[in-house]
Chain A
Amino acid sequence: MEKELVMNTPNTAMEETNRSLQRREKGEKAKKAVALTFVWIMLLVMYLPIMYLILYSFTDSKVIGQWNGLNFDCYATLFNGSNVYAKQIWEATWNTVWVAVVASTLSTVLGTAGAIGMHFLGKKLKAVFNFANEIPIVNAEIVMALSLCILFAWLNLPTSAFSLIIGHMVLTIPFVVINVQPKLEQMDPSLYEAAMDLGANRAGALFKVMIPDLLPGIFSGFMISMTLSLDDFVITEFTKPSEGMDFQTISTYVQGTLAKGAIPIQIRSFTTLIFVLIVAVMIGYTIVNNRKAKKI
């Protein structure tokens, strides 16, 4: 009897702790469920407007929200060369893309060179550069846009492709610089010197030793530049070519049609295709990343 009691006490105590552990685990599980439900609901809300637009890309009603029956008119007309709206949309797309590619490339080259140069400047001069670099990030885009517009008016130059590219470079360069800077800080300075000692010339040491080290920063700077440039409205509106043909990017085109009334129905199918493209790129990127992670 005595023995059993002694044996029993720790057992019940253990059961007790086990039960409380289980209870805690249950609590954790419930917490997790609540948290993830909240996140998924928020995601649903974030995607709702886009889904709504996508849904109405499968009907040809003039306004979103009025269902004319399932058809693919939005898509058919988008790829019909003689459709006025389709022509405008594709032209605006082309403009958006080339401006983004040209401006981001120039920003990446100039910004990377700038960041490398700044790294070797004296403290005071470096601070001045850093301050000037922060201006477009902190400043409102519209103030930068107006200031550029004034600059070209002051120079008596009409706004053109040149002013537009400059505008997008102002928007994106600071982000290239701040993305390259941390990589420069992490860089091992002796590598560059070693390359020089081993007989590399300046350009060789720069391109074969330094730039590869900075590449991740340069790449993310370029990607952020593309993202900002593709989505830009304000700077584009203020610096886009004012003479000759009506120049539009997707942002200014949609805003212009919206101000006049309804947007063309082809915008719905266009957005759907862009969305599919983005999701595909995202999935591809995730898969490649996961594979890389597994290899390591």
Chain B
Amino acid sequence: MEATRALPKNKGVMRENRKWLCMPYGVFLVLFIILPILLIFCYAFSDADGHFTLNNFIDVFSPDSSGTTFKVIGQSLGVAALTTVICILIAYPIAYILANSKFNKNAVLVYLFLLPMWINFVIRTVATKQLLIFFGLDPAMHPWICSIIGMVYNYLPFAILPLYNTMLKLDKSQIEAAADLGASPVQVFFKTIVPMTVPGIVSAATMTFMPTMSSYVITDALSGRTIKLIGGQIEHQFLHSQLNVGSVYAIIMLALIGLSVVFENFFSEKKKGAR
């Protein structure tokens, strides 16, 4: 009697014990992820001595500098939006073909698209720059074209992968049914395939849009430093030990990321609603 009663209780204790395995990670999360982000807000509102001030914001948004700030925000959004759209337009057909067993029977081709990612991206960017010069596209003369090519080149695999994964799960019978019921290939594409791949498009967009805003290494190398991204502004402040002003830029960045997350959720919610 005693033993059988003790057993479940004992098991409960065991379960409790496994729960505690996440304690070290919890401490890590608080110390190195949550606390540092809170510190960004403290630093943005204080001066070098730690006293409260709004000067950092005034520095960034004063009439003298706000022009540059808004230009940087605009350029970041512009580069990110263009890169995302172009990446998806190129990645979509590639992912469709790779995931379609009619065209491609093994995953080797997929690996081939991912393989360049293992070469250091700074080195790849240098190579891209030299190749563009070889083709007569001097980054100093065509900063936008070169930067966008460099960005698309770097982020294309990140767009292909989520799209490929959704397309593997496409419901083939629905596509066939649409075709059998007399839909033209164009109708089949826009009315069945595209709606079914919306989750893949959304995650491909997130995978490219968010990191491009801070990929200042690529734009620095491929625009002759004429296109400035928010990430570059933060680095600039960091290199000049201006962590307080840098924090203001980080907050701007956080706001933009927050907006993109809201945007992303809006689209995924809509998709869920449609179902």
Contacts and interface: CB of A to CB of B under 8 A. Distances in A.
A103 interface: no
A140 B211 contact: yes
B116 A50 contact: yes
Interface string B1-32: 00000000001001101111111111011101
A39 B122 contact: no
Interface string B86-128: 0000100110011010111000110111011111111110111
B156 interface: yes
Given A49-B124, A254-B120, A117 B22 contact: yes
B247 interface: yes
Given A49-B124, A49-B153, A140-B210, A147 B20 contact: no
Nearest to A116: B21
B37 interface: yes
B120 A231 contact: yes
B181 interface: no
Interface in A30-62: 32, 35-36, 38-39, 42-43, 46-50, 52-53, 56
B33 interface: yes
Given A140-B253, A255-B122, A286 B108 contact: yes
Contacts of B234: 142-143, 146
A199 B5 CA distance: 17
B257 A138 contact: yes
Contacts of B261: 138
A114 B26 contact: yes
B254 interface: yes
Interface stretch (A13-21, A76-84, A275-283): A275-283
Given A42-B94, A43-B113, A238-B238, A254 B33 contact: no
Contacts, number: 229
B250 interface: yes
Nearest to A135: B33
Interface in B199-215: 210-211, 213-214
B131 A52 contact: yes
Given A114-B26, A233-B217, A271 B119 contact: yes
B243 A147 contact: no
Contacts of B112: 43
Interface of B: 11, 14-15, 17-26, 28-30, 32-37, 39-40, 43, 90, 93-94, 97-98, 100, 102-104, 108-109, 111-113, 115-124, 126-128, 130-131, 133-134, 153, 156, 210-211, 213-214, 216-217, 220-221, 231, 234-235, 238, 243, 246-247, 250, 253-254, 257, 261
Interface of A: 28, 32, 35-36, 38-39, 42-43, 46-50, 52-53, 56, 63-65, 110-111, 113-121, 129, 132-133, 135-136, 138-144, 146-151, 153-154, 166, 169-170, 173, 177, 193, 196, 202, 206, 227, 230-231, 233-234, 237-238, 250-251, 254-255, 258-259, 263, 267, 271, 274-275, 278-279, 282, 286
